């Protein structure tokens, strides 16, 4: 009885705390789309240089706001990962084998982290491109 109750409590905790982290993965997909829209249809940098309007400040501010969103996501992801680790430890005390469900949650968090790395690279490239274009207009 007591054991079952403990497991139920932990599963409940995990639903409350880890499931919201999964939405980070969806947020990242949305961000990827937003970045995709900033890019030319092709992601090749030479094409991108040709396609970005000259001295486009709105483009710059959109990149800046995307960078902010990525930073927020990274913060949320960090918290999510700590929470997942904590739950994993708690779960280990209650049951000898960690549930598949929880492994999937951690997998999603790891996927999200990998996506954020890619997002930051995309944004970094766009940032360089914008600066490059701005420089060309100054000379």
Cβ atoms < 10 Å from Cβ of 3: 9
Domain of residue 132, CATH code:
1.20.58
Average pLDDT of the chain is 65
Give mean pLDDT, residues 44-60: 54
- pLDDT of 64: 78
Least confident of 22-26, 40-44, 90-94, 105-109: 40-44
* pLDDT-derived band at 93, boundaries 50, 70, 90: low
- Domain of 112? 2-138
Instruction: Give the tens place of pLDDT for each residue, 16-51.
Output: 555 555 566 677 777 767 766 665 444 444 444 444
Q: Which residue has the higher pLDDT, 77 or 122?
A: 122
Contacts of 63 (CB under 8 A, 6+ apart): 38, 123, 126, 127, 130
**100, 108, 102, 76: which is closest to 90 by C-alpha?**
102
User: Domain tally for the chain?
Assistant: 1
**96, 89, 95: which is closest to 5 by C-alpha?**
95
3-state secondary structure of 88: helix
- pLDDT of 89: 66
- Please give the Cα distance from 76 to 70 (Å, whole number): 10
- pLDDT of 100: 63
C-alpha separations of 37 from 15, 22, 44, 86, 95 in Å: 34, 24, 14, 38, 46
* pLDDT-derived band at 71, boundaries 50, 70, 90: confident
Ramachandran area for residue 99 (φ above 0: left; ψ -120 to 50: alpha; else beta): beta
| Whole-model pTM over 0.85 | no
């Amino acid at each position: 009885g007591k054991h079952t109750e403990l497991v139920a409590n932990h599963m409940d905790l995990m639903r409350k705390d880890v499931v919201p982290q999964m939405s980070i993965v969806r947020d990242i997909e949305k961000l990827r789309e937003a970045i995709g829209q900033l890019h030319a249809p092709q992601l090749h940098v030479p094409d991108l240089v040709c396609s970005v309007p000259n001295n486009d400040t709105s483009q710059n501010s959109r990149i800046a706001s995307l960078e902010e969103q990525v930073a927020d996501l990274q913060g949320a992801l960090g918290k999510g990962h700590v929470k997942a680790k904590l739950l994993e430890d708690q779960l280990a005390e209650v049951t000898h084998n960690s549930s598949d469900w929880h492994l999937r949650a951690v997998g999603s968090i790891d996927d999200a982290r990998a996506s954020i790395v890619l997002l930051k690279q995309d944004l970094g490239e766009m940032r360089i491109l914008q600066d490059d274009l701005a420089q060309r207009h100054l000379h």
